[in-house]
Chains A and B, each alone.
Chain A
Amino acid sequence: MDLLLAHGAMPPGAAWHLEAPVQMGLACAAAGYLFLVLRLRSRGGAVKRGRAWAWGLGLASVLVALQTPLSAVAEGRSLAAHMLQHVLLMSVAAPLLLVGLYPRLLVPVTRPLLPAMLNRRFPSALLRMLSEPAFTFGVWLLVLYLWHVPAVYGLALHSEPWHIAEHLSLMIAGTLFWLPVIDPLVSLKRMPPVRRILYLGGGQVATAVLAAVLVWWPDVLYIHYERANEMWGISPQADQQVAGALMMVIDMIAALWATTWIALGSLGRAPSAQPQAAL
């Protein structure tokens, strides 16, 4: 069923997109984090307030992307709104959630799980693969480009299960991309700061190609939005250009922010200090 028709009867400004599974997931994530924080505090550990804020902002980004009128506008009328949804999941929520985690907080999860996983062949291989920047970059690149092929994009817009799969895979791919940059658990294959900045630069080049296609392609690429009603007098072509610019700018802000913190974080870490996340 066409989601445009499904949402068409409602003015987009009033269409809050409330879905119980998403809200349950967000509530569980918040409660789980609170449990870990209280546990750490009860054992005399230092709770990092900035990291907790990052976790909260990450969850808020998911909420804004999936549960507000932005979602209805994104599905029905504007590619730029849909792109904003995607970058909120991939480039805002994913890094913020990873920044929210740090080794001492995660001890109750990692202590029982990690040794058992490292002693087994398949989970150990999986962990090593997830620590491999070439793998995380490759998955991110594949997912990003695959969902922006017009036919595949159209499939997600016209089928709810495919749409859920799209958002879920973009979120997972975004998390994988940021994993070696932020490295909340101190991975098996830790990248030095310069390599992490180059990794971010590689991501920017990949994003730039897609953004340039959206900004400079002379035709409307996604037929769905050509048929949708113009919003605020913005033509589908201009909407596509705004989508490309939004994608590039938000990704670039995230990458530059991470670069600053990688560089300054590597300076701020005393040589004798325990290895920890750079951000």
Chain B
Amino acid sequence: MDALADRRVGLGAAGALAAAFVTGGVALATGSSQWTMVLAGALLLGSGFAVMAPCQLQMSAMLTHVVRNMAARNVSAWGAPSVARAAGLFSLGYLVFYAPVAILLGGLALLLGPYAWMLCLIGGVMAMVLGLAALGALPRSWLSRCRGPLYLLRSGRASFRRPFAAGIAFGQYCATCCGPYLYALLVVAGATGAFWLGAGLVALYSLTMVVPFLLPALLAPGRYAVLGERVQTLAPQVNRATGAALIAMGAVLFPVTALIA
């Protein structure tokens, strides 16, 4: 069953790679600057779901994990209102973290000017290496220093007793994976001469990550507590999906780099 799932993930990643190169090739062949920017933007926006869905699931899985642990420790105050409040503060921390990230990435893109595409290329290579390592195609030791949600929980940085700080910590974790994607989004937006558009897209990215996580936590917090016991069974699939998403993102960043270079 796992082998079949891995084969499907591999086929999906290969398909994404092929589609990205074909689209990039078509855009370069047409030579139209209008369509070049539209295709680069479409590639980035279209891959957004693949980049964000695994992160979103990790955020939700982490919340259920925390709720389960709190329930196991019999923390009496940890009822449904506490879940909603903690999720709200967690989301606020996540959003606050992304404001300086948007400014930093935007500043970097402006500083590099016509050579901004080089960082997109490096980001693409990094994403593919991380993705291959996550799928087990590279030695596991490559990821030994990679600090995922479990590290955040165990080290206490993502303790929901301090949900605002946990949101900032999770934002940092997300930014290492999604950083190259966000940077490329800023560069493509910046290429149209609209820096506000790039910064706005990064801000909207963080908002898009937070709202689907926050809504169920606010509207149906009890559900998270019920699901807590089973959520760990989802972890291997989410890890594989994250690996595939990183490869797909790397694959998308190559033609995007070619289009904006």
Q: Which of A's residues lie within 8 Å of B, judged by CB? A: 50, 53, 197, 200-201, 204-205, 208-209, 211-213, 215-218, 238, 241, 245, 248-249, 252-253, 255-257, 259-261, 263-264, 267-268
Contact = CB atoms under 8 A, between A and B. Distances in A.
Interface of A: prevailing SS: helix
Nearest to A238: B194
A91 B56 CA distance: 19
Nearest to B192: A216
B46 A259 contact: no
A217 B41 CA distance: 10
Interface in B43-57: 44-46, 48-50, 52-53, 56-57
Given A253-B211, A267-B234, A259 B48 contact: no
B162 interface: no
Contact of B223 (A53, A213, A264): A264
Interface string B213-235: 10110011001001100110110
Which 5 A-B residue pairs are closest in the complex by CB-CB distance? A208-B46, A257-B212, A212-B41, A208-B45, A212-B42
Interface of B: 34, 37-42, 44-46, 48-50, 52-53, 56-57, 60, 64, 188-189, 192, 194, 197, 200-201, 204, 207-209, 211-213, 215-216, 219-220, 223, 226-227, 230-231, 233-234
A212 to B, nearest CB: 4
A208 B252 CA distance: 14
Specify which of B45, B60, B211 lies most central, judged by the most chain A CB atoms within 10 Å of its CB.
Answer: B45
Given A212-B42, A256-B49, A257-B215, A264 B60 contact: yes
B8 to A, nearest CB: 9
A213 B56 contact: no
A264 to B, nearest CB: 5
Given A216-B41, A260-B212, 17 more contacts: A50-B220, A208-B45, A209-B46, A213-B38, A215-B197, A245-B197, A245-B200, A245-B204, A249-B204, A249-B207, A256-B52, A256-B211, A264-B216, A264-B231, A267-B233, A268-B226, A268-B227
A50 B222 CA distance: 12
Given A205-B49, A218-B34, A267-B230, A259 B197 contact: no
A259 B223 contact: no
Most chain A CB within 10 A, of B48, B60, B188, is at B48
A257 B45 contact: no
Contact of B216 (A204, A248, A249, A260): A260
Given A253-B212, A256-B212, A204 B46 contact: yes
B231 A259 contact: no
A11 B208 CA distance: 33
Contacts of B41: 211-212, 215-216
Given A260-B212, A267-B227, A209 B197 contact: no
Contacts of A249: 204, 207-208
A144 to B, nearest CB: 15
Contacts of A197: 53
Contact of A241 (B42, B188, B194, B220): B194
B208 A209 contact: no
A255 B212 CA distance: 9
Give the most central of B46, B211, B226: most A CB within 10 Å.
Answer: B46
Given A209-B42, A257-B212, A260-B60, A204 B49 contact: yes
Contact of B208 (A253, A261, A267): A253
Nearest to A53: B219
B233 A201 contact: no
B176 to A, nearest CB: 20
Contacts of A245: 197, 200-201, 204
B34 A217 contact: yes
A209 B70 CA distance: 44
Most buried by B among A50, A218, A256: A256
Contacts of A263: 57, 60, 234
A257 B57 contact: no
B187 to A, nearest CB: 12
Contacts of A238: 194
In the complex, which of the residues A217, A218, A241, A267 has the most CB atoms of chain B within 10 Å of its own CB atom?
A267
Max chain B CB contacts within 10 Å: which of A211, A216, A263? Answer: A216
A208 B230 contact: no
B56 A256 contact: yes
Contacts of B34: 217-218
A149 to B, nearest CB: 15
Given A209-B42, A263-B234, A268 B223 contact: yes
